[in-house]
Amino acid sequence: MSFFVQELIQKSDISDILDQVLHGKRLALNDCIRLLRSDNPYALGIIGNILREKIFGKVATFVNNIILNYTNVCITYCKFCAFYRAPGDSEGYTLSVDDVVKRVAKARDQFGISQVLMQGGHNPDLRIEYYEEAFKTIKEKCPDVAIHGLSASEIDTISKVERSNTKEVLSRLKEAGLDTLPGAGAEILDDDVKSRISPLKIKSDEWLNIMKQAHELGIKSSATMMYGTGEDYEQRGRHLVKIAELQEKTGGFMSFIPWSFEPNNTKMQAEGMIKYPSGGLELLKMIAISRIVFSGLIDHLQSSWLTNGIGMAQLALTYGADDFGGTLIGEEVVSATGARSTELTSDKIITAIKQIGFQAHERNNFYDTIRVH
Ligand code: SF4
């Protein structure tokens, strides 16, 4: 570490915490909150980058994938969501199993994808057989494509439709071909925040419990945080600590993805709850803090280009992120907010990674390198 960097860290208001992290110490809730309150993103970024470089050197990964939003029909009416349509709405849609499989096969042939990220609304008309048939047929026709599908709250919805329980649902879906669970639906794991922005969605403990059940069944997952919804730093801190605590028990989180709330076209914006997104500096701070808090616990941290753009994602790689995320071809949820381009080709991601002097490795669903570019 250069003299200048040491000076910057020592003079920062969080030097004691950064010192602890560099010596491998796990952080307590108060430390997380102090990091979140700090107005020194540069010191945070330097430490985030040092921790990333220790594990990954100059390698950044990405996955060639599609997002398949199989239905926009939803009965949960989250105030931050511009994607859903209520049952009976003329703009509502649900893809048939045949269409789901055709889209995956076409993307495999056209783009060589290795992962389908399948997510949709909470559609009460879809029985578990819909998902089982879709997963089984994808596995028959495209065995080389991993299914990273269904958030914890979709699993909860299926269990309610089936009058079953989430463990049984997870077990049946695993049997049908589900590989891993995305971390969506966590938002901020604090029930006051949830009551304000998504009152009908599963609460924090339910999200954590479904993730725990999945991990115990051998289904790995990612974890996410959607910040910038008006939560305070204590609530964000508690979110990070809850994820860290579960990871210490199960080791089932493969990655963490902090992404910023995009308010356009949402009820939260219409009601004046949030006027604009939290922006680039906050993203860099969240990336660095996530790397620091999950040091030694969760290795992979995504750069979140989807809501912040390619330039910010490049910077995020220098603040602690190691993974660019996916090409996300076909994304419809964030694009419903009118956010910037919500899909990329692998060529553009490779160029973005190389532009900042990193090596671009294409990975599979499980973060194993499958191609060096
Ligand atoms: S975020 Fe998901 S659960 Fe909430 S309204 Fe949108 S589609 Fe439904």
- Provide CB contacts within 8 A for 56, sequence distance 6+: 322
Looking at the structure of the chain, the number of domains it has is 1
pLDDT, mean of residues 25-29: 92
CATH of the domain at 164: 3.20.20.70
- Residue 21 inside a domain? The answer is no
Whether 109 shows a pLDDT value over 60: the answer reads yes
* Model pLDDT, residue 24: 85
Which string of b and e fits 139-168 if b means at least 16 CB within 10 Å? beebeebbbbbbbbbbbbbbbebeeeebbe
- Residue 115 inside a domain? The answer is yes
* Model pLDDT, residue 338: 62
Q: What does the longest C-alpha to C-alpha distance in the chain come to?
A: 64
Q: List the one residue out of 61, 58, 87 whose CA is nearest residue 72.
A: 87
* Model pLDDT, residue 292: 96
Query: Coil, strand or helix: which one is 256?
Result: strand
d(CA 74, ligand 1 centre) in Å: 6
Whether 339 shows a pLDDT value over 70: the answer reads no
Residues with CB under 6 A from ligand 1: 74, 76-78, 81, 83-84, 121-122, 153, 198, 201
- Residue 20 inside a domain? The answer is no
For 181-194, write each residue's pLDDT tens digit: 999 999 999 999 99
pLDDT, mean of residues 47-67: 96
**Cα gap 144→115, rounded to integer Å:** 8
d(CA 6, ligand 1 centre) in Å: 45
Ligand 1 probe mutation, 70, 75, 84, 126, most atoms within 8 A of CB: 84
Whether 260 shows a pLDDT value over 70: the answer reads yes
pLDDT, mean of residues 254-279: 90
- Residue 1 inside a domain? The answer is no
Q: List the one residue out of 181, 184, 204, 182 whose CA is nearest residue 193.
A: 204
How much is the mean pLDDT over the chain? 93
Ligand 1 atom nearest to 201, measured from its CA: 3
Q: Which domain holds residue 337?
A: 26-372
d(CA 302, ligand 1 centre) in Å: 22
The single-letter DSSP state of residue 210 is H
* Model pLDDT, residue 23: 86
- Residue 16 inside a domain? The answer is no
Ligand 1 atom nearest to 81, measured from its CA: 6
Band (7; pLDDT cuts 50, 70, 90): confident
For 151-164, write each residue's pLDDT tens digit: 999 999 999 999 99
- Residue 178 inside a domain? The answer is yes
* Model pLDDT, residue 187: 96
- Residue 8 inside a domain? The answer is no
